[in-house]
């Protein structure tokens, strides 16, 4: 199951401690981000071990439009992470709904 930008923002605004991974490239992250951990899609395979203990924890992944993060979600689930959600529409949708804040 995935998550909408509205659901994510509501949970962030409520102060939930979320594990969010931004799989965009560093230059995209620098232009605009929501405070997620930046792990570019191409580095996910070697960075997996950094959070291997989080296999049961909910992990939310996002990118610019939702395509790369959907790939990251599939990769993480194949690696044994059981609760991965993709942000539908990515940061394009976030900025369309909430601006650059």
The reply to whether 63 belongs to the active site is yes
Rg (Cα) of the chain, in Å, rounded?
13
**Nearest CA among 26, 4, 35 for reference residue 101:** 35
Catalytic residue among 8, 61, 63, 72: 63
Q: Contact, 41 vs 72, CB < 8 A? A: yes
Asked whether 61 and 69 are in contact (CB, 8 A), the reply is: yes
Residues classed as catalytic:
63
């Amino acid at each position: 199951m995935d998550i909408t930008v509205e659901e994510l923002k509501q949970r962030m605004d409520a102060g939930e401690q979320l594990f969010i991974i931004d799989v965009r490239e560093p230059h995209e992250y620098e232009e605009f981000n929501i405070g997620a951990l930046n792990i570019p899609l191409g580095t996910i395979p070697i960075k997996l071990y950094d959070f291997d203990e989080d296999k049961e924890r909910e992990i939310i992944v996002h990118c610019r439009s939702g395509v790369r993060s959907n790939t990251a979600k599939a990769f993480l689930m194949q690696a044994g992470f059981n609760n991965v959600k993709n942000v539908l529409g990515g940061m394009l949708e976030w900025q369309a709904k909430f601006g650059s804040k």
